[in-house]
């Protein structure tokens, strides 16, 4: 009974923290608009530089654009608000609620970001995709995965003075397994292979996401204390 | 002889594995020929690296629950020595690859995975340099270490098994265990692995003791 009550209150905290993040973002619209413009201009730079690409490169290029966009989007997640306000949140909500809310909020941001990026990218770079639904599933799984991994790393780099070099060197090696599986899965989707071929990759992606969220939940309570 | 018996055991096991590794019988195989003896030197490097990284992650978790600075020193020195073994493993693997595959660095998931895992642990050391305050450095790098360890396992041991790979033991290839019919290779390989693990741990404890003395000098009031 007590445990159920604790879980309920955690859920409530998470919900109001996500709401708080959304309202803050909606009031300024700075971060969201900035990152959307970032994606569109990166796509355009790539288009100008490459003109036309073969399918394998099209796929890899998309994920590289997504990688840099998501690092930039999530890098800010712990430095938007000043130290005093962070301390206030930690005193009224549990650390688990704070990290869970950040992860879910970043997932929502990443879903929006990747939907727009995919739309712009496939309009500008014409390329046939054999199984669009599976490709979309790969994009959704990928954006959720980026959000899970980068939220924790951005928390770490925020504590270390938040320079962007540190964020890159800490997160790129960690994201590579996810990126490799994603590129393979989306390549399967492009070639229009049987869906059953891709179940393995989807399982690995889901497993990586679950593991990173679990580790983040376990470790974050140690991270925020100062 | 009471508490340092394992150091002597490590040296004896290494002597045994070097002598028998160069003189002992090995199965005659095409392509690899006598370089099959590299198994005794290349594979134990990774055993030792894995053990040291495992010690490191255990001490990182211990640090998080105890806040004892000595646990942090064990964690960082384990990574330092582990990286040396990793580099030796990469070097011996490249030599071997150059002989058998004709290319020191073919584009192979096992090789790329281990290189990326090395980058991850180098990033751990850079993260430590980026943090000035000792307690904060210990805590945050411990968190990153715990975060990196499962990813290292995925990169080096799970992903290469699911994709095509040249490397024995991954991508559906058989390891050397299948050719070693009479167990003569196992009789050298396992003692060699234990020997290198013991030597690695010894190196780590030496470095840890130096660091502990430095730490005590640094913090004690003169």
CA-based nearest distance A29→chain B, Å: 31
Task: Write the DSSP string, A166-214.
Answer: HHHHHHHHHHHHHHHHHHHHHHHHHHT--GGGGHHHHHHHHHHHHHHHH
> Which residues are CB-contacts of B152 (< 8 A; sequence separation ≥ 6)?
B53, B117, B120, B121
Reply yes or no on whether the pLDDT at A99 is more than 80.
yes
B124 band by pLDDT with thresholds 50, 70 and 90: very high
Flag whether residue A185 sits within 8 Å of chain B, measured between CB atoms.
no
* Residues B186 and B175 sit within 8 Å (Cβ to Cβ): no
Helices B134-153 and B109-130: angle between axes, nearest 10 degrees: 170
* For helices A164-191 and A199-224, angle between their N-to-C axes, nearest 10 degrees: 160
Buried b (16+ CB within 10 A) or exposed e, A103-128: bbbbbbbbeebbebbbebbbeebeee
Asked whether the beta carbons of residue B159 and residue A177 sit closer than 8 angstroms, the reply is: yes
State mean pLDDT over A193-207. Answer: 83
ipTM: 0.81
The pLDDT value given to residue B173: 65
Query: Among residues of chain A, what percentage have pLDDT more than 70?
Result: 98
| pLDDT tens by residue, A119-142 | 888 888 877 788 888 888 899 989
| Count of pairs with CB atoms under 8 A, one residue in A, one in B | 71
Are the beta carbons of B151 and A200 separated by less than 8 Å? no
Which has the closest alpha carbon to B145: B70, B214, B80, B210? B80
A200: chain B residues, CB-CB within 8 Å: 162
Shortest Cα distance, chain B CAs vs residue A156, angstroms: 7
Give the per-residue pLDDT at B158: 81
Pick from A42-56, A71-85, B16-30, B196-210: least confident: A71-85
């Amino acid at each position: 009974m007590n445990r159920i009550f604790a879980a309920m209150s955690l859920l409530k905290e998470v919900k109001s923290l996500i709401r708080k993040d959304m309202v803050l973002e909606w009031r300024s619209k700075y971060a969201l608009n900035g990152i959307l413009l970032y994606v569109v201009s990166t796509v355009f730079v790539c288009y100008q530089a490459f003109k036309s690409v073969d399918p394998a490169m099209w796929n890899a290029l998309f994920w590289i654009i997504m990688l840099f966009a998501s690092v930039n989007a999530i890098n800010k997640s712990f430095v938007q608000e000043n130290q005093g306000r962070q301390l206030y949140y930690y005193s009224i909500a549990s650390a688990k609620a704070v990290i869970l809310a950040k992860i879910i909020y970043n997932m929502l941001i990443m879903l929006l970001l990747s939907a727009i990026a995919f739309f712009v990218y496939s309009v500008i770079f014409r390329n046939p995709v054999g199984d669009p639904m599976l490709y979309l599933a790969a994009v959704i799984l990928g954006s959720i995965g980026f959000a899970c991994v980068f939220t924790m790393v951005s928390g770490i780099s925020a504590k270390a003075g938040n320079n962007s070099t540190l964020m890159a060197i800490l997160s790129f090696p960690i994201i590579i397994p996810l990126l490799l599986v994603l590129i393979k899965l989306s390549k399967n989707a492009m070639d229009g292979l049987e869906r059953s071929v891709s179940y393995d990759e989807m399982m690995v992606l889901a497993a990586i996401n679950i593991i990173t969220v679990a580790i983040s939940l376990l470790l974050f309570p140690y991270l925020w204390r100062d | 002889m009471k508490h340092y018996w394992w150091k002597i055991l490590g040296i004896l096991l290494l002597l045994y594995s070097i002598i028998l590794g160069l003189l002992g019988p090995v199965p005659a195989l095409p392509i690899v020929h006598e370089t099959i003896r590299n198994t005794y030197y290349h594979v134990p490097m990774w055993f030792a690296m894995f053990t040291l990284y495992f010690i490191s992650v255990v001490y990182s978790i211990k640090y998080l629950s105890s806040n004892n600075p000595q646990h942090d020193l064990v964690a960082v020195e384990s990574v330092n020595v582990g990286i040396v073994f990793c580099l030796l493993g990469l070097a011996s693997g490249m030599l071997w690859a150059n002989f058998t595959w004709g290319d020191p660095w073919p584009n192979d998931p096992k090789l790329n995975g281990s290189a990326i895992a090395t980058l991850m642990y180098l990033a751990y050391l850079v993260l430590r340099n980026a943090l000035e305050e000792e307690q904060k450095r210990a805590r945050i790098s411990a968190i990153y270490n715990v975060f990196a360890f499962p990813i290292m396992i995925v990169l080096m041991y799970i992903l290469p098994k699911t994709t095509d790979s040249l490397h024995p033991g991954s991508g559906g290839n058989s390891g050397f265990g299948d050719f070693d019919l009479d167990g003569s290779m196992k009789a050298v390989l396992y003692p060699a692995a234990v020997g290198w693990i013991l030597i690695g741990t010894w190196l780590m404890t030496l470095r840890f003791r130096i660091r502990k003395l430095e730490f005590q000098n640094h913090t004690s009031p003169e």
